[in-house]
Amino acid sequence: MRKTTVSEKEVMEYLNFLRESGATNMFGATPYVIEEFGLEKSEARRILSLWMSNFNSAGDYTEVKD
């Protein structure tokens, strides 16, 4: 386990919100992350993958498993 960075935590909290909104299938969330946070595609995918591996419905992303 490692602590998340501030930006990782922000994106993962956003992904929880996006999931709850039903706006997209989460496998298609990369463009939403790019648009919302201005990240490069590879970074958006990396954090989305991290979120998927550590999904927590309560939104607690203080620590994650890589």
For residue 48, being part of any structural domain is answered with yes
CA atoms within 13 A on the CB side of 26: 17
DSSP per position, 10-45 = HHHHHHHHHHHHTSS-GGG-HHHHHHHH---HHHHH
Q: Has residue 66 been placed in a domain?
A: no
Helix (H, G, I), strand (E, B) or coil at 9: helix
**Per residue in 15-65, pLDDT tens?**
999 999 999 999 999 999 999 999 999 999 999 999 999 998 888 999 999
**Which range of residues forms the domain containing residue 27?**
2-61
Q: What is the pLDDT of residue 57?
A: 86
**3-class secondary-structure state, position 48:** helix
Query: For the chain, how many structural domains are there in total?
Result: 1
